[in-house]
């Protein structure tokens, strides 16, 4: 009986030290992929397959564990902050971008607008989906090796 009480007290003490409201970065069913630390290649934007840019650079999203993000729609580089909220909530803070003249500025603007509008994410297999209020995905990414 005494040992059971000690074990219960140890579990309670451990639970009290565990941070509350820590966002999950590996939702159930992700196959081990994490929203953070994975190189996510853009494959679909606003329901349309993303064919890439005329600049030959990949379109991607990367989220660091420290709340910083980097991205590109294939021309300009973007950097800023993001915040995870619960197991599926995400929001992007201010995002800065280089200002190169790109052959297809519509893709650049659509990608930037998507970042400011989405508020949920889901990982299914090797894909990351960003959406607004759990509606149809605004963007779909696929885990890929980071180009060198």
Residues 6-50: pLDDT tens digits? 333 333 333 333 333 333 344 434 457 899 999 999 999 999 999
- 23-143, what's its fold? Lipocalin (2.40.128)
Higher pLDDT, 7 or 2: 2
Q: Are 40 and 114 in contact (CB under 8 A)?
A: no
Return the ∠ at Cα 65 (arms to 142 and 89), rounded to 5°: 65
Instruction: Look at residue 24 in the predicted model and tell me its pLDDT.
Output: 35
Buried b (16+ CB within 10 A) or exposed e, 98-120: eeeebebeebbebbbebbeebbb
Instruction: Look at residue 14 in the predicted model and tell me its pLDDT.
Output: 35
Which residues is 62 bridged to in the sheet? 39, 70
Instruction: Give residue limits of the domains in the chain.
Output: 23-143
Measure Cα distances from 8 to 11, 13, 18, 20, 25 in Å: 5, 9, 16, 20, 29
12 class by beta-carbon count within 10 Å (0-12 exposed, 13-18 middle, 19+ buried): exposed
pLDDT digits (tens, 9 = 90+) for 65-118: 999 999 999 999 999 999 999 999 999 999 999 999 888 889 999 999 999 999
| Residue 135 pLDDT grade (very low, low, confident, very high; cuts 50, 70, 90) | confident
Instruction: Look at residue 39 in the predicted model and tell me its pLDDT.
Output: 97
pLDDT digits (tens, 9 = 90+) for 47-73: 999 987 667 789 999 999 999 999 999
Instruction: Look at residue 26 in the predicted model and tell me its pLDDT.
Output: 43
């Amino acid at each position: 009986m005494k040992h059971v009480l000690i074990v219960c007290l140890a579990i309670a003490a451990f639970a009290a030290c565990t941070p509350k409201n820590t966002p999950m970065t590996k939702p159930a069913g992700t196959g081990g992929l994490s929203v953070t630390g994975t190189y996510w290649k853009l494959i679909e934007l606003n329901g349309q397959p993303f064919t890439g840019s005329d600049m030959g650079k990949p379109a991607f999203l990367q989220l660091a564990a420290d709340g910083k993000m980097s991205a590109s729609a294939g021309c300009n580089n973007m950097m800023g902050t993001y915040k995870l909220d619960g197991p599926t909530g995400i929001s992007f803070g201010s995002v800065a971008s280089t200002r190169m003249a790109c052959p297809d500025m519509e893709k650049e603007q659509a990608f930037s607008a998507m970042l400011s509008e989405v508020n949920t994410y889901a990982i299914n297999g090797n894909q990351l989906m960003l959406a607004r209020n759990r509606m149809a995905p605004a963007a779909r990414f696929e885990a890929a090796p980071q180009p060198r």
